[in-house]
Structure 1
């Protein structure tokens, strides 16, 4: 099955076709693709395409449009081609080779690897450039102006796109509704982006090449067509903004509150406007219409300052400068409507100041709707563009030097994870303290974590994840420059992580959001899986629990250990293999508000108990939900998380401080329970259903940024993200092959009461030789992981 359709719109490209086909076939030799030429030519281009199709290694189809079907130009040609595409992805490129086929192939690979809906080739980010593609200063200036104009008119929908005018792009066919598109001219990508605000977008930098042959199709006529297209999109968008009313009662109440506040500011603005008009008309003796125009500028400045600070508090569509420009433009356009009405009222004998006040009040509702739904964009329910700019830069990676401070490279803390992966870090990672292994050589760890300066000092308007190819490096930067939550990951035989100073002071965030994501994939490459689950042994039986985040798994584990004894292996993550074995991963437990009921810790001091009361509330489901909600907006969410955890450390305790218990090293899992909230029920699960639910539960644990930007770019042991995920599934299938699985639902957090009744008695234990028993001690992983007992000794 064809996975990719390369659409090449052509118009009199007879001098380019032969070279185009030769280079496309070479570039896509290892990619399953087809070429679809949509031709609007009046020369022999379609005949030459047909000849090349006979010798092409890739399948070729030709769609030749007669003159009467060419309405809409190049944009409509691409839409027509997309309707005939057979691939899951559609890649659009020019026929004149200004989009080098080698770059197009790289863009196609990025599209297949990342979870984005649209991938844009950009000339204006990273190592991208217009190169020799825009011949002359006029075309360069024209392209830059067109880009700035589009981004100014659509600040939210084009927020993370640096090159909305690009002719090189790819989109997932199911993510774009072709019936919504009605393009005119060249700029189809702009149409797609504006009409699909919820689509996720990634960019790939490239250097635009010179035309291979022929002349550019750009002209004054095309420029006017572009302006007409832009106007039509803005008009359509404006109509949608003004007619979209709040859907829920809460939204209507919120809008009413904003309108009242807007009205109060407006009343103060009327006073400012009237005073300015009096000064210009009565005191200075200017014409009343000129005075009204001058007064509008004064009241606009006054109203914008108060509305920005008091009503919307800096939250709106675009930057505050762009909002100021649009607010000024709105008031002056409405001034053009007011002036004729003002003149009529004055001619009827009404005083100038009263007439001016009447026109201001009459237009209040229109000003509010334009401000609320267009300028500030507070309307809810609309899909929003992802707040993080995702860029794949195939040029060399040169980290800017931002500090002359010399830093040590020594890794003070070293860990051995189940004898499989070693980690060294300059900062202590509390979640891994159980695995401390100072005998691991500093220069032989698999993952190294160091502190350093990442990215530029200057603040950013939004967070950015940049993937570099040479060397393979990922860089994440947030809003505050060097003082934000920045980090860099260099992939290779050793994975090197550099975290900025802010993150270095919040090791929980460093581990949870960065290190564990990489540890997950390194384990996969070595035949093990980091499974989101809890594991204990009860009566000699290996028992595993899994659930979506914040269901109640931790409280259930604590109650099982408290009430039934047994050994503890893990609460949040368990290392498993394809033979059904689980190796302990005893991270400190995070105590949320609903987990407190299961704690039986006589060792905690009164101060610790009091602190635990409010710590558990902040780091519970409500706090996590708030953080995930904030992650949808353009806020430095990772920095906020780091600072929050610095000020209020998460309530993390080792399990034996919370309930009396012993630790186990390994077990062969026999029973798996997937717990969920709902009406009490117990049901057996099929093998296929169990696999899918365990994958879902594990992915749910990595829902916090920046995992979804980081993961698709990870390569470990020669395996890319898709290959690692496929291998992870294979390991999980092997692990689950001989395990009995059931779902247990409860609406009273009563899983710990039901699970012990469902566990079948343990089989007669197999005697273990004394020599082996002596080796089954922590942290001698090589010995411990050779065993397959029901529970190791601590």
Structure 2
């Protein structure tokens, strides 16, 4: 059965009519007894999904024959790549890479063949990735309800924990989003990985993938490692040595790339100048180190010279760090001073570990004077220290864009016991950090209640000024969405903010760095939807509404058959029209001018309730008066105190302020807490439209016109339905850019609809509504859309509207 030319069993053992949805890559080595049970469970878990199972086999027993025998009897495609002894490069990691090269699906899941990785869960990882638009989903033994019980002995637990700690210490930023980089079960989007960059050696291929592809969008799923079905562990001292060597090679490879990027971006002259200054600072460090060493030799003659060298290094390292900060890299620097100090001290202590054996050799074996031996070892390590400091601590490589997702994502997926369909988005197991205590009777009362027609009713313990128009105190307690104030989140601080989704019952929790002191929240996605916000967050109602509640309202609306469209809506001479633009274009100013100067009737400025038949409902949220909107607000409409306050508010809440906030959101900081504190200290300049000028608010209308406005050269024209659809969706998404929407939205489940199903319904509602609209675009460089829109409508259109 072997192909004599290649030494491989044929890969195509079953004919295929179309590419599979998922490739399951199973590296095996002497797993003969596991093939049958594994395929049985994979087949049961796959259900009707089109998957293929690809065994990459390094066995010396009859495992290949067992795979081939089962492949001929299975309805799902089973393929085999057998590597002979001379072809088994890279060990298990090399086998995985070989399998990924042969995968035919756009997503592949990697799992061991000994059934320590549950196939039912493994096949669901790709569904999590697809539903959340991720690149990699790893199964973790160290988050949520995961555990490593299947490792067995205490020694294996200790070895695994030690390996994880060492790896995360050597790659603190690249492995920051993974709690279990040693995991062997993960799913990845094959197009997101550059396989040519991988150089695997041994077991830990997940670590290799993430380190060499640092911009991957990653999530983790908790899992319990099961006992081995049959066979023996392949772990050994040789594998441990291979792992240690591979870590060192990876670290050097990353450093080499950082050095190359830093030298290339800075230019040769600037780079050489930095090296010269670093050398001068290092020379001063030599003096400090030598002085301390000599002083210790005089003051403490009985102190061993190696201990004295350690103490001298501590003193000179502090001296070097201070001078390096001020003289070598005086400008803007990446990260925080504390973070740079930690890396700088770590660098010098690693150098110290390398110096001590060499120092002992020079003193003991060659009989050299301690001071001269110390100087020689410091000079030898100077070049290494500069390259590392320049590239990995201060250089442009260190200042590059931070990880795409600073927040950790955990999806706690329940595995159906009957092996139901696996490769789907997480269906609606409860291990989320829920509210700490049940609400006391006095805490159940919801004093603020709102009824948004055709969307939802809301009961809240937090006053929500954005919904003031919909205030309806007569509502009962059984509202669709309830907002409560209660301590929530984990008790202990954490290194990163974490968004955790559980699937039974559906819920999502956000916990920040400061534990219970953070701006945390928990959402129970049932009937009703219960939003629990921590007290620090409740003090900022604007953030509660904008960052949590509005995202939920968007998807609840879709489940009711309407869309919350990011657009303004006015009625001009009886003609209903939508006005859409990117955030901070000038839409609010245009609306105010049309109302004041043209007598337009107001429905909304920011959000419109859109029905599939073109009917719209009003959503008169307070208007945000940014800096460029001030020109549309009359000076007699606000008091002097309000005008003075607006000078600060409009700057902070302007386009530049939001851009700065978005920049902060890419950093590993408690961004919700920062946002809540900022909004509390400097509230956004929000005013209801009737506070700014006399106007009529109408509850509903039928729209027939759509205008997309933008800044640029003067121009106007018709817009196709496809272009209008694309722009409206883009502008709506643009309104939801601030965290944690991108992490929260994929976790939302309303009834039987997950995020993807809700998005499909939203697109269908918009497409249907656009069928009855005339769509046009207008571009101006001078904020004159309020003049151009009536001109574009023209007298005949207005007359026809009046007649209708």
TM over 0.5: yes
Give 2:203's match in structure 1, choosing from 166, 169, 186: 186
Task: Identify if the C-alpha distance between structure 1 residues 261 and 637 changes in structure 2 by more than 3 Å, giving closer, same or farther.
Answer: farther
SS in 2 for 1:199: coil
- 2: CA distance between counterparts of 1:420 and 1:675? 27
- 2: CA distance between counterparts of 1:252 and 1:634? 33
Q: Which moved more, 1:272-281 or 1:668-677?
A: 272-281
SS in 1 for 2:262: coil
- Say whether 1:329 aligns with 2:345: no
Give 2:463's match in structure 1, choosing from 414, 425, 428: 428
Q: Within 5 Å, which residues of 2 pair with 1:226-305?
A: 226-245=243-262, 269=285, 272-282=288-298, 284=300, 294-304=311-321
Give how far 1:435 is off: 0.5
- Structure 1 residue aligned with 2:139: 121
Give how far 1:556 is off: 1.6
Give 1:707's match in structure 2, choosing from 741, 748, 755: 741
- Structure 2 residue aligned with 1:716: 750
User: 1:317 touches 1:376 (CA, 8 Å); kept in 2?
Assistant: no
Give how far 1:108 is off: 2.8
User: 1:542 touches 1:668 (CA, 8 Å); kept in 2?
Assistant: yes
SS in 1 for 2:33: coil
Task: Identify if the C-alpha distance between structure 1 residues 93 and 618 changes in structure 2 by more than 3 Å, giving closer, same or farther.
Answer: same
User: 1:513 touches 1:707 (CA, 8 Å); kept in 2?
Assistant: yes
- 2: CA distance between counterparts of 1:431 and 1:721? 25
Task: Identify if the C-alpha distance between structure 1 residues 608 and 103 changes in structure 2 by more than 3 Å, giving closer, same or farther.
Answer: same
- Structure 1 residue aligned with 2:67: 49
SS in 1 for 2:555: helix
Give 1:75's match in structure 2, choosing from 93, 106, 123: 93
SS in 2 for 1:671: strand
Give how far 1:396 is off: 3.1
Give how far 1:603 is off: 3.0
User: 2:281 touches 2:320 (CA, 8 Å); kept in 1?
Assistant: yes
Give how far 1:308 is off: 8.2
Give how far 1:113 is off: 1.3
Give 1:688's match in structure 2, choosing from 689, 711, 722: 722
- 2: CA distance between counterparts of 1:82 and 1:317? 41
Give how far 1:263 is off: 8.1
User: 2:595 touches 2:695 (CA, 8 Å); kept in 1?
Assistant: yes
Give 1:555's match in structure 2, choosing from 567, 589, 594: 589
Task: Identify if the C-alpha distance between structure 1 residues 334 and 590 changes in structure 2 by more than 3 Å, giving closer, same or farther.
Answer: farther
- 1: CA distance between counterparts of 2:274 and 2:585? 37
- Structure 2 residue aligned with 1:20: 38
User: 1:316 touches 1:377 (CA, 8 Å); kept in 2?
Assistant: no
1:685-743 C-alpha deviation (Å, 9 max, x unpaired): 21111111111111111111011111111110210111000000000001111211122
Task: Identify if the C-alpha distance between structure 1 residues 661 and 401 changes in structure 2 by more than 3 Å, giving closer, same or farther.
Answer: closer
Give how far 1:259 is off: 8.4
Give how far 1:594 is off: 0.8
Give how far 1:315 is off: 1.6
- 1: CA distance between counterparts of 2:199 and 2:583? 43
- 1: CA distance between counterparts of 2:323 and 2:518? 29
User: 2:454 touches 2:560 (CA, 8 Å); kept in 1?
Assistant: no
- Structure 2 residue aligned with 1:762: 798
Task: Identify if the C-alpha distance between structure 1 residues 355 and 28 changes in structure 2 by more than 3 Å, giving closer, same or farther.
Answer: closer
- Say whether 1:388 aligns with 2:424: no
Q: Within 5 Å, which residues of 2 pair with 1:604-643?
A: 604-643=638-677
Give how far 1:184 is off: 1.6
- 1: CA distance between counterparts of 2:243 and 2:781? 58
- Structure 2 residue aligned with 1:101: 119
- Say whether 1:453 aligns with 2:487: yes
- Say whether 1:215 aligns with 2:215: no
SS in 1 for 2:202: coil
User: 1:342 touches 1:359 (CA, 8 Å); kept in 2?
Assistant: no
- Structure 2 residue aligned with 1:498: 532
User: 2:432 touches 2:501 (CA, 8 Å); kept in 1?
Assistant: no
User: 2:92 touches 2:203 (CA, 8 Å); kept in 1?
Assistant: yes
Q: Which moved more, 1:67-76 or 1:529-538?
A: 67-76
1:142-165 C-alpha deviation (Å, 9 max, x unpaired): 111111111111000001100101
1:226-282 C-alpha deviation (Å, 9 max, x unpaired): 1222121111012112222266679998x9999899789767755542431331345
User: 1:537 touches 1:566 (CA, 8 Å); kept in 2?
Assistant: yes
- Structure 2 residue aligned with 1:3: 21
Give how far 1:314 is off: 6.9
Q: Which moved more, 1:176-185 or 1:37-46?
A: 37-46
Give how far 1:6 is off: 0.9
User: 1:569 touches 1:664 (CA, 8 Å); kept in 2?
Assistant: yes
SS in 1 for 2:151: coil
Give how far 1:537 is off: 1.2
Task: Identify if the C-alpha distance between structure 1 residues 601 and 409 changes in structure 2 by more than 3 Å, giving closer, same or farther.
Answer: farther
1:128-177 C-alpha deviation (Å, 9 max, x unpaired): 0012x212111111111111111111000001100101100000111111
User: 1:451 touches 1:500 (CA, 8 Å); kept in 2?
Assistant: yes
Give 2:79's match in structure 1, choosing from 61, 64, 79: 61
1:400-445 C-alpha deviation (Å, 9 max, x unpaired): 7757995602111111112431111101111100011112211x21
Q: Which moved more, 1:23-32 or 1:614-623?
A: 23-32
- Say whether 1:315 aligns with 2:347: no
Unaligned runs of 5+ in 2: 1-18, 414-428
Give how far 1:22 is off: 0.7
User: 1:413 touches 1:436 (CA, 8 Å); kept in 2?
Assistant: yes
User: 2:26 touches 2:110 (CA, 8 Å); kept in 1?
Assistant: yes
1:522-551 C-alpha deviation (Å, 9 max, x unpaired): 000110001111111112211211111112
Task: Identify if the C-alpha distance between structure 1 residues 265 and 50 changes in structure 2 by more than 3 Å, giving closer, same or farther.
Answer: same
- 1: CA distance between counterparts of 2:363 and 2:215? 43
Give how far 1:487 is off: 0.2
SS in 1 for 2:115: coil
- 2: CA distance between counterparts of 1:355 and 1:9? 51
1:373-406 C-alpha deviation (Å, 9 max, x unpaired): 3246763335625211111124432647757995
Q: Within 5 Å, which residues of 2 pair with 1:645-794?
A: 645-760=679-794, 761-762=797-798, 764=800
- 2: CA distance between counterparts of 1:700 and 1:371? 38
- 1: CA distance between counterparts of 2:178 and 2:229? 28
1:57-91 C-alpha deviation (Å, 9 max, x unpaired): 42222222233322112212121111121211110
Q: Which moved more, 1:5-14 or 1:402-411?
A: 402-411
Give how far 1:45 is off: 1.9
- 1: CA distance between counterparts of 2:658 and 2:776? 28
SS in 2 for 1:476: strand
- Structure 2 residue aligned with 1:85: 103
1:436-491 C-alpha deviation (Å, 9 max, x unpaired): 1112211x211110001111232221100111233222110111111111000011
Give how far 1:30 is off: 4.3
- Structure 1 residue aligned with 2:475: 440
1:550-582 C-alpha deviation (Å, 9 max, x unpaired): 122112212222221111111111110110111
User: 1:601 touches 1:659 (CA, 8 Å); kept in 2?
Assistant: no
Give how far 1:361 is off: 8.1
Give 2:515's match in structure 1, choosing from 481, 485, 496: 481
Q: Give the CA RMSD over aligned residues.
A: 3.3
- 1: CA distance between counterparts of 2:334 and 2:273? 14
Task: Identify if the C-alpha distance between structure 1 residues 414 and 320 changes in structure 2 by more than 3 Å, giving closer, same or farther.
Answer: farther
- Structure 1 residue aligned with 2:626: 592
Q: Which moved more, 1:403-412 or 1:78-87?
A: 403-412
- Say whether 1:161 aligns with 2:197: no
User: 1:5 touches 1:34 (CA, 8 Å); kept in 2?
Assistant: yes
Give how far 1:749 is off: 2.1
User: 1:300 touches 1:331 (CA, 8 Å); kept in 2?
Assistant: no
- Structure 2 residue aligned with 1:463: 497
Q: Which moved more, 1:733-742 or 1:403-412?
A: 403-412
- 1: CA distance between counterparts of 2:469 and 2:264? 51
